[in-house]
Structure 1
Amino acid sequence: MTDRLLAFLILCLVAGAPVGAALLWTGNLILDFVFFYPLFMSGLWMFGGLYYWLHWERRWPWGPGTPPPYLPGLPWISILIPCHNEVQHGADTVLSALGQRYPRIEVLAIDDGSTDGTGDMLDQLAESHPRLRVIHLARNQGKAMALRMGALAARGEYLVCIDGDAILERDAAAYLVAPMVRHPRVGAVTGNPRVRTRSTLIGRVQVGEFSSIVGLIKRTQRVYGQVFTVSGVVAAFRRKALDRVGYWSLDMVTEDIDISWKLQRDHWSIFFEPRALCWILMPETLRGLWKQRLRWAQGGAEVFLKNLPGIRAWHYHRLWPMALEYCISTVWSFALALSLVLWGAGLLVQLPDRIQVETLMPPAFTGMVLAVACLLQFCISIFIDHRYERGLFRSLYWVIWYPLAYWLISLLTTLWAFPRVMLRRHRARARWESPDRGIKAPTP
């Protein structure tokens, strides 16, 4: 509890500096921060994404006739698939894992106490596919425990972990493992998830999100050396690295964020591999989207509060930019909430001039700059990602709605999740339930 309190105090100090200064000068200064921080981050992501593409990605061969990457020594790759109530999508996931072109593959499906017939479905698949092994857990233990059990039973040094409703491209596993074979200090590689649920506006908007936001963020973080989180739906790990850090934590809501920080605190590098494509299902309802993003926000807050007191030493200075980025993003959410409160209060009573927020609308020039930067970011991300997914330019119309939704969801989930994490005294084991998987999910 002392460490969490210290982390909270540090966050308050960081948050208090800009907010306190703003209150001393003018409420409109808060509004300037609220508007210009997204503009700064958009510019940072565009620069990082372009640098990554120019420095590395554009030289990589890619196309229908491209052979899979060669892995010296042909090491065994174990693909772990934790499943909980995946009878509808699990078979496609397992078959995509078994269909990898890399020859030395084994697939372990971990049935985590499913109640919908997933276990029987997996057993039937195992009868006709000798490279598939099924592990049955008597009751729901959570994704982290399922991954642990799979890792203990796996024979490979390299573990590719995917969700029970994801579909791997035929060379994804080899692409994920190749950086770890070439670089002995790489402990994990995160893949490139692509959304395949797009029958509603929410689904279509997320298609653009994973290229214009998630893809650029991963590239940018890879440029400055630290990745906030691997993609929990598709990532690969070095067994030796997992063993050193104690594998996945059982009490964290987002095991993918937690394992990323644990590995990097132990000085393992995390790479991003955009050619490791994995087709995923995402929520297509507001309720499903809210539950998912709230869980992500809560997991980020848990990991931040858990790790911040332990990375103060210079020994961990490479993690400081990642922590600072998260810290400022959290400050932004509270600053936006404060500006909304001051604006609303100003409609009811006369506030002192220094804290008066006259309008929530940016000046015309500022609004135009934000709109142009947003459109430029979309065009850059689609240009970089279009060779991995055809028809991305058609999603440009739907993507224009995303900035408002993205920042609004970030605001609400942060305001809800951060106090919730702070006020919780004990963390129980994180168990999962079947999420919103979309209304219509075509197979790629």
Structure 2
Amino acid sequence: MKPRMVAIIPAHNEEMSIRDCLAGLGDQSLPKGLDLDIIVVADNCTDRTEEKAIEAGKEFNLNVKVLTTENNKLRKVGALNHGWKYIYGDILDLYDRKMSTYQHLYQKSVKAILGMDADSRLAPGALMQLWEGLSSARNIGGVMAKYTMRMPKKKSLLSKDDVHYEEKINSGEYGGPISRWWTHQQKQDMASWLLNLQYHGGSTYVLGGQATLFRPEALQDIVDENKLDGPWQNDSDVEDMLLTWQLQKSKWKTLISPGARCFVDAMRSYHTFRQQRNKWKSGTVELLTNHDIGAKSRHKGKIWRSELKTSLDLFTRILFILLLSISLATNQFYWSWIWITPVVLASILNTILALKTPMHRTIDVVLAALLISPELYLWANLITFSQVWLGKLSVNKKDGWANQYNAERGKTHSKLAQGIIGAILSISLVVYLCIQNRAYLTSEPVQTALQPYLMTGWVILTILTIIASVNMLYQIWTLRGRHTA
């Protein structure tokens, strides 16, 4: 039996995207003598995902097998393991059915397993590059493609008289200025992460589920060592990160491909973005703090440093707002040009990142240089960071997958507008009270009483700003390399 790669694609109500995903696989060139089989797992679908997958398989001349699940409670994890069991059998089968000679031969013919999302699309040549990375050394357990968020087309290009207007809008192919802005910020964030990992050798602490090529023996090690019925586990909201940590625990290398690219969908609104990042961040925090999961990564220190950096970003900004407000209210603010240094460094860093982001727009570079986009995006992430760590203290664990699904399908709504209005009203009230009590706040007794605290606060802020500036200089230095996002 010829050697082969097998793609396992979990698809929950993906009738709008499954054709594009399979079209991308149809574009791939394969190593000589290697076949490609595709298993689409139509997971608890209530739409035409199964039918669309079969049609696309015939259209692009692909060997597609569609499996269906019913009452799968484990969502993506359950769907992925369903595809795995189709190849390697179900050790929990009550009837202990023996595998046929053909099934044993088929198992041995599988040389690589591609895990893909149904709304992702591989760029031409990506599968060959993933294979070259996986086969370059015996100890490589998985190689991930470099992800780039697809920019939605301008919504203004659509005529509202188009009979398919609502269908095209709902497909996510088109978007307004805000959704296009959100998409670029996520794309630049991903580019920054990829560049950082490549600069430090290309090893990654998460093999993203959007498109990763695995060595079957590595996945089988996870099954055997952890007494599982499939490689993927539901113990974390970030099943791909948990799997990666288990591979690293078993001494397998996990790498990023320097050339393979995969196009993925971004979150198009603040609400869906926040729910997705809440799931990612809470899953990461759970892996870092829950020792019962039993997974570890050589990158654990790097992730903790990232968490510390985010906490310092949050503390620095809150401290700056507090000190600036009190200094202005009590007429004790003094400007120094040295304070422009971190602003200039941040502008340079974000401009370089914007330029290194694939398929960037001129407006994105300008907004990055002015620090408008980076600061807004950072605050969105700081809010998520705060919610996740505060939620860690809660006894009620939230279902990250359910929250993300509901947000993407419009079943829940953002409270961003109410939050902005509340913040504006609060700031206005504080400003009004400060103006009304200007004489008292600027009196000598008040200034004298507050001056030592202000001085201490500004010293602490200066130290934190110096640390942040050194870190930005280091990032700028790393970006000088030849690596691309």
Same fold (TM over 0.5): yes
CA distance in 2, matches of 1:193, 1:435: 22
Give the RMSD, CA atoms, in angstroms.
3.7
Residues 33-52 of structure 1 aligned to structure 2 (within 5 Å): none
Higher relative contact order (CA 8 A, sep 6+): 1
Q: TM-score, normalised by structure 2?
A: 0.62
Distance 1:219 1:379, change over 3 A: closer
Q: What is the SS of the residue equivalent to 2:299?
A: helix
Is the CA contact 1:284–1:436 (under 8 Å) kept in the aligned structure 2? Answer: no
Distance 1:202 1:239, change over 3 A: farther
1:217 aligns with 2:171: no
Residues 201-280 of structure 1 aligned to structure 2 (within 5 Å): 201-206=177-182, 208-209=184-185, 212-224=188-200, 226-246=203-223, 247-280=231-264
Distance 1:135 1:337, change over 3 A: farther
CA distance in 1, matches of 2:374, 2:124: 33
Unmatched 5+ stretches in structure 1: 1-73, 351-357, 439-444
Which residue is 1:7 aligned to?
none
CA distance in 1, matches of 2:234, 2:396: 16
1:119 aligns with 2:53: no
CA distance in 2, matches of 1:200, 1:222: 33
Is the CA contact 1:93–1:165 (under 8 Å) kept in the aligned structure 2? Answer: yes
| Candidates 132, 157, 163, aligned match of 1:178 | 132
User: In the TM superposition, what is the alpha-carbon distance from 1:112 to its structure 2 partner?
Assistant: 0.9
Q: What is the SS of the residue equivalent to 1:110?
A: strand
Which residue is 2:266 aligned to?
282
Number of residue pairs matched? 350
Residues 345-384 of structure 1 aligned to structure 2 (within 5 Å): 364-379=337-352, 382-383=355-356
Is the CA contact 2:350–2:368 (under 8 Å) kept in the aligned structure 1? Answer: no
Which residue is 1:433 aligned to?
405
CA distance in 2, matches of 1:190, 1:164: 16
User: In the TM superposition, what is the alpha-carbon distance from 1:110 to its structure 2 partner?
Assistant: 0.9
Distance 1:308 1:322, change over 3 A: farther
Which residue is 1:132 aligned to?
64
Unmatched 5+ stretches in structure 2: 88-106, 153-174, 224-230, 411-485
Q: TM-score, normalised by structure 1?
A: 0.67
Q: What is the SS of the residue equivalent to 2:405?
A: coil
Q: What is the SS of the residue equivalent to 2:130?
A: helix
| Candidates 63, 79, 83, aligned match of 1:146 | 79
Is the CA contact 1:98–1:131 (under 8 Å) kept in the aligned structure 2? Answer: no
Distance 1:210 1:101, change over 3 A: farther
Is the CA contact 1:84–1:433 (under 8 Å) kept in the aligned structure 2? Answer: no
Could you tell me the percent identity over the aligned residues?
Answer: 18
1:306 aligns with 2:290: yes
Distance 1:339 1:249, change over 3 A: farther
Is the CA contact 1:211–1:381 (under 8 Å) kept in the aligned structure 2? Answer: no
Q: What is the SS of the residue equivalent to 2:38?
A: strand
Is the CA contact 2:134–2:140 (under 8 Å) kept in the aligned structure 1? Answer: yes
Which residue is 1:418 aligned to?
389
| Candidates 164, 175, 198, aligned match of 2:118 | 164
Which residue is 1:295 aligned to?
279
Which residue is 1:106 aligned to?
37
CA distance in 2, matches of 1:427, 1:239: 33
